[in-house]
């Protein structure tokens, strides 16, 4: 296979002339050849025609802006591969631009892990056989909706593209009657939407996920009682019958602070209100990446697919909840985006997930439609496993629980003695927590005991060198033991 570098102008390609880009205004054929545009932009003019076939390869190494511009006819078939390999073959973003949709047969996005491929062609991009996502996020222009989508033709498929780090932030289209999973997300989170096989071989469906744009959440039909406001899928059917009776399954965000699994429903916007598409409890769970299914009814135009619940809304919509170790304390952070009649958060802790104790209360904002952030610090975590959950309570004492979060302290660091080993005097940082301290030698004989602890610590200069056992009792009833090595 002969390789042609297009920063030189071969006599066989008279239609290609040297401009700021590699410019094609005539007919160019790649019948099984290997072409590389290397450092140049590829520009196919309105009168340009490119035909690729017979396993031909076109390597695109152009710059990040307008790497590949198509205003004419770009027609690849029969095993042809277009490879986007990064600027000058190095990792970096690249762009597929222009005003006429190129027809790629095999499309390889290989410009580097984590790198953008920006599809700005106003007519979108067509894939006839296979797209390989080896890049990071692929974008389309959302303002172009379905027209500017990355479209997969009948029988076309893809590899990669279904992770938070690798998906399409924008519109993806599918033509044909085969089942398909749309690799869509919002640039941060992958939120796939899968369909069963449409009944028509010419069915054309397009979707994009948006974490903010939700139709009127106050308009819904029973049995729906609330609409999740932080994510939906724009839904475009080219013909009214293209999605009749179509089974749809989505990958959901974390809904533990929104609704229970059995009450979740897939819902659709019919132009007036949200309607139930599930008909029953179809969710596999209410945690992130669980699935939720439904069916688009025949004869009803659905323009947005969302998430709803058959239960009265929880007092808050909890969107984040995390726990981290911060020195010798546990720091809890959470955020809400909606609060209705909310009163407070009760912070509960457990070491086994069965018996729970309240360790704090944080007042909520009550009524809110904006993001609210909260912090609570547990200054006395348990030694070992600490499980935390939020009890979200509204003003009439209706409540719901968040998911559990876990943090582990290898030892009871909040009251550990230091320095250790010690030759003169050891201290305990949070000595105010201590009700009693007792020190035993290796024979089990008590050598020190006190009902109080001060910042001055404990003098060990009169003790013989060796290993001692320190028992600490706290005012909250917690008892811990520590080995203390006394040296000289």
pLDDT tens profile 426-480: 888 777 888 888 999 988 899 988 877 777 888 899 899 888 988 888 887 777 7
Cα–Cα nearest to 87, from 146, 137, 135, 153: 135
What per-residue confidence (pLDDT) applies to 414? 58
pLDDT at 20 over 60: no
C-alpha separations of 74 from 62, 68, 79, 175, 432 in Å: 17, 11, 15, 19, 76
Q: Tell me the pLDDT band of 172, cut-offs 50, 70 and 90.
A: very high
Integer Cα distance of 400 and 393 in angstroms: 7
Reply yes or no: is the peptide bond before residue 223 cis, omega within 30 of 0.
yes
Total length of the chain: 488
Per mean pLDDT, which range of 146-155, 192-201, 217-226, 255-264 is the poorest? 255-264
| Contact in structure between 145 and 206 (CB atoms under 8 Å) | yes
The larger pLDDT score, comparing residue 427 to residue 328, is at 427
Q: Tell me the pLDDT band of 12, cut-offs 50, 70 and 90.
A: very low
List of residues 6+ apart from 445 with CB closer than 8 A: none
Q: Which residue has the tokens 């509204």?
A: 394
Q: Tell me the pLDDT band of 2, cut-offs 50, 70 and 90.
A: very low
Buried b (16+ CB within 10 A) or exposed e, 173-209: bbbbbbebbbbbbbbebbbbbebbebeeeebbbbbbb
pLDDT at 9 over 50: no
Most confident of 1-15, 151-165, 301-315: 151-165
Lookup: tokens for 279: 């008909």
| Contact in structure between 448 and 484 (CB atoms under 8 Å) | no
Task: Describe the strand order of the beta sheet including 434-440 as a list of residue ranges.
Answer: 446-450, 434-440, 466-474, 479-486
pTM: predicted TM-score of the whole model, two decimal places: 0.70
For all residues of the chain together, what is the average pLDDT?
90
pLDDT at 351 over 50: yes
pLDDT at 411 over 80: no
The larger pLDDT score, comparing residue 266 to residue 2, is at 266
pLDDT at 10 over 60: no
| Contact in structure between 137 and 167 (CB atoms under 8 Å) | yes
* DSSP for 270-302, written as a single string: -SSSEEESSSS---S-SSTT-EEEEEPPTT---
Q: Tell me the pLDDT band of 197, cut-offs 50, 70 and 90.
A: very high
With H, G, I as helix, E, B as strand and everything else as coil, classify residue 1: coil
Of 3.90.550.10, 3.30.70.1710, 3.40.1180.10, 2.60.40.3080, which CATH number belongs to 413-486? Answer: 2.60.40.3080
Integer Cα distance of 95 and 77 in angstroms: 22
pLDDT at 67 over 70: yes
Per mean pLDDT, which range of 64-78, 363-377, 388-402 is the poorest? 388-402
List of residues 6+ apart from 142 with CB closer than 8 A: 170, 171, 208, 210
Per mean pLDDT, which range of 100-109, 334-343, 409-418 is the poorest? 409-418
List of residues 6+ apart from 228 with CB closer than 8 A: 214, 217, 255, 258, 259, 306, 307, 308, 309, 317
What per-residue confidence (pLDDT) applies to 258? 82
Per mean pLDDT, which range of 247-256, 311-320, 466-475 is the poorest? 311-320
Per mean pLDDT, which range of 148-157, 214-223, 299-308 is the poorest? 214-223
Per mean pLDDT, which range of 64-68, 115-119, 191-195, 350-354 is the poorest? 350-354
Percent of the chain with pLDDT over 90: 64
Percent of the chain with pLDDT over 70: 94
Domain made up of 316-409: CATH architecture: Sandwich (2.60)
What per-residue confidence (pLDDT) applies to 413? 54
Beta bridge partners of 293: 249
Integer Cα distance of 152 and 4 in angstroms: 29
Q: Tell me the pLDDT band of 4, cut-offs 50, 70 and 90.
A: very low
Integer Cα distance of 16 and 10 in angstroms: 9
């Amino acid at each position: 296979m002969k390789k042609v570098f297009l920063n030189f102008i071969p006599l066989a390609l008279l239609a290609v002339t040297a401009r700021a880009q590699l410019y094609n205004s005539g007919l160019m054929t790649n019948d099984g050849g290997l072409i590389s545009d290397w450092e140049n932009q590829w520009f196919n003019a309105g009168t340009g025609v490119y035909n690729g076939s017979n396993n031909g390869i076109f390597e695109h190494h152009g710059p990040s802006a307008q790497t590949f511009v198509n205003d004419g006819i770009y027609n690849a078939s029969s095993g042809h591969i277009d490879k986007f390999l990064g600027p000058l073959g190095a990792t970096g973003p690249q762009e597929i631009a222009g005003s006429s949709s190129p027809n790629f047969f095999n499309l390889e996005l290989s410009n580097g892990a984590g790198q953008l491929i920006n599809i700005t062609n106003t007519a979108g991009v067509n894939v006839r056989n296979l797209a390989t996502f080896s890049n990071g996020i692929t974008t389309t222009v959302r303002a172009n909706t379905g027209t500017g989508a990355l479209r997969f033709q009948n029988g076309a498929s893809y590899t990669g593209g279904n992770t938070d780090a690798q998906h399409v932030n924008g519109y993806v289209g599918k033509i044909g009657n085969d089942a398909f999973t749309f690799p869509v997300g919002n640039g941060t989170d992958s939120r796939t939407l899968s369909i069963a096989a449409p009944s028509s071989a010419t069915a054309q469906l397009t979707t994009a996920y948006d974490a903010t744009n939700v139709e009127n959440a106050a308009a819904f039909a029973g049995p729906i009682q609330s609409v999740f406001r932080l994510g939906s899928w724009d839904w475009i059917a080219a013909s009214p019958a293209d999605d009749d009776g179509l089974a749809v399954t989505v990958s959901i965000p974390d809904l533990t602070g929104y609704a229970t699994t059995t009450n979740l429903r897939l819902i659709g916007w019919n132009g007036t209100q949200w309607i139930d598409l599930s008909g029953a409890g179809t969710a596999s769970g209410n945690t992130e990446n669980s699935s939720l299914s439904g069916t688009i009814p025949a004869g009803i135009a659905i323009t947005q697919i969302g998430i709803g619940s058959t239960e009265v809304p929880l007092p808050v919509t909890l969107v984040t909840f995390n726990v981290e170790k911060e020195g010798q304390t546990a720091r809890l952070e959470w955020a809400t985006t909606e609060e209705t009649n909310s009163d407070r958060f009760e912070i509960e802790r457990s070491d086994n997930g069965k018996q729970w104790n309240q360790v704090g209360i944080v007042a909520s904002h009550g009524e809110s439609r904006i993001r609210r952030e909260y912090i609570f610090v547990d200054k006395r975590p348990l030694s070992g496993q600490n499980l935390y959950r939020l009890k979200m309570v509204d003003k009439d004492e209706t409540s719901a629980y968040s998911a559990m979060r876990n943090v582990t302290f290898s030892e009871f660091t909040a009251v550990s003695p230091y320095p250790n080993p010690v030759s003169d005097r050891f201290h305990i940082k949070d000595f105010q927590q201590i009700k009693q301290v007792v020190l035993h030698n290796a024979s089990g004989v008590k050598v020190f005991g006190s009902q109080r602890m001060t910042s001055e610590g404990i003098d060990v200069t009169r003790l013989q060198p060796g290993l001692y056992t320190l028992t600490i009792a706290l005012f909250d009833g917690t008892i811990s033991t520590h080995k203390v090595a006394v040296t000289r």
